[in-house]
Amino acid sequence: MLHVSCFMIIDTHAHLNFSAYKNDADEVIKKTLAGGVFVINVGSQYSTSARAVEYAKKYDGLYAAVGIHPLHLQAQKFSYHDPDEIEEVEIETAGEVFQKEKYLELAKNSKVVAIGEVGLDYHHFEFEDNIEDLKNKQKEIFLEFIKLANVVEKPIMIHCWGVKSRQELDHARTDAYDDLYEILEKNPVEKKGVIHSFVGSFKTAKKFIELGYLIGLNGIVTYGISYDKLIREVDLKDIVLETDCPYLTPVPKKGERNEPMYVKYVAEKIAEVKGISVEEVEKITTKNAQELFRI
Ligand SMILES: [Zn+2]
């Protein structure tokens, strides 16, 4: 292989397939690729999964992941807060019914490098929701996608966000990372995967790393020092970089629409906290992503 180089990075979790880019997706894609950033566009429901595949077919350096985000399993409207609560986005979901054959067809495409994003989200439950029902639904569909990942022999891109408070934990009774761990331990994904947008402690990260998973870090780690300890403790060989754009724009671009090029600010933050060079962060995390996703 040629130098994995300081000049190519991979944004392992982006949503250029979302409506935030409906007017300029091609422009952003071209600029991103020209800047040496490869991208995995991740679907959150059938329409965005199909669009991710369509884009991936059209451009070298662009890849896709297909799946149903747990929040798209129930019809609902909620406000999306980033951890600083500076930005607030209204999201409406239709409540998708999982159609195995349609996803299998997408998943088989050679530019599809992962199944996702799929997983558990206990972060947006309302107190009036029947939480047991919602959790069971999320788990049931997650298991279907684990099966699909094993059928097509691809890794999985996991979304997992827990409850927001102790009071909510009492209501939900279990936290998402604990439930996720139990599911992955009992239902192994052959090609492993990424716990994307990881927001847990090192103790939690370590459990998933020991199961063979990588930890996806994005702009959240640039919002102050809350994740510095995690960054210091997680080995570079267990990290992949991502943006989760259009959301979670890293400092210093916070307030703008996020885009894959800004993945470099995540690399810079990790380098700064670990006291190593940005090149080393980019080199190792790119290698991690290339090996996992076979890019
Ligand atoms: Zn995402």
Indicate the pairing of strand 214-217 with strand 239-241. parallel
Residue 2 lies in a domain: no
pLDDT digits (tens, 9 = 90+) for 196-220: 999 999 999 999 999 999 999 999 9
Residue 1 lies in a domain: no
Q: How far is the CA of 207 from the centre of ligand 1 (A)?
A: 22
Token code pair at residue 202: 């090192």
> How large is the average pLDDT for residues 4-19?
84
Q: How far is the CA of 13 from the centre of ligand 1 (A)?
A: 6
The confidence band for 34, taking pLDDT boundaries of 50, 70 and 90, is very high
The pLDDT of residue 76 is: 65
pLDDT at residue 278 greater than cutoff 70: yes
The pLDDT of residue 130 is: 87
pLDDT at residue 4 greater than cutoff 50: no
153: containing domain: 9-293
> How large is the average pLDDT for residues 24-32?
97
pLDDT at residue 127 greater than cutoff 90: no
The confidence band for 193, taking pLDDT boundaries of 50, 70 and 90, is very high
Residue 223 lies in a domain: yes
Residue 38 lies in a domain: yes
Q: How far is the CA of 197 from the centre of ligand 1 (A)?
A: 8
CB 16 within 8 A of CB 25: yes
Euclidean distance between CA atoms 133 and 95, whole angstroms:
14
> How large is the average pLDDT for residues 160-186?
87
Q: How far is the CA of 10 from the centre of ligand 1 (A)?
A: 15
Euclidean distance between CA atoms 25 and 21, whole angstroms:
5
> CATH number, domain at 148?
3.20.20.140
Q: How far is the CA of 247 from the centre of ligand 1 (A)?
A: 8
Residue 3 lies in a domain: no
The confidence band for 31, taking pLDDT boundaries of 50, 70 and 90, is very high
pLDDT at residue 167 greater than cutoff 90: no
Residue 21 lies in a domain: yes
The confidence band for 163, taking pLDDT boundaries of 50, 70 and 90, is confident
Task: Tell me if residue 43 falls in helix, strand or coil.
Answer: coil
Within 139-197, strands assigned E span 156-161, 193-196
The pLDDT of residue 222 is: 97
pLDDT digits (tens, 9 = 90+) for 85-117: 445 556 666 678 899 999 999 999 999 999 999
Euclidean distance between CA atoms 82 and 74, whole angstroms:
21
Q: How far is the CA of 116 from the centre of ligand 1 (A)?
A: 9
> How large is the average pLDDT for residues 36-49?
97
Q: How far is the CA of 118 from the centre of ligand 1 (A)?
A: 9
pTM confidence score: 0.92
Q: How far is the CA of 42 from the centre of ligand 1 (A)?
A: 7
The pLDDT of residue 88 is: 55
Q: How far is the CA of 12 from the centre of ligand 1 (A)?
A: 10
> How large is the average pLDDT for residues 61-77?
89
pLDDT at residue 238 greater than cutoff 70: yes
Residue 187 lies in a domain: yes
Quote the number of domains for the chain. 1
The confidence band for 129, taking pLDDT boundaries of 50, 70 and 90, is confident
Average model confidence (pLDDT) across the chain: 91
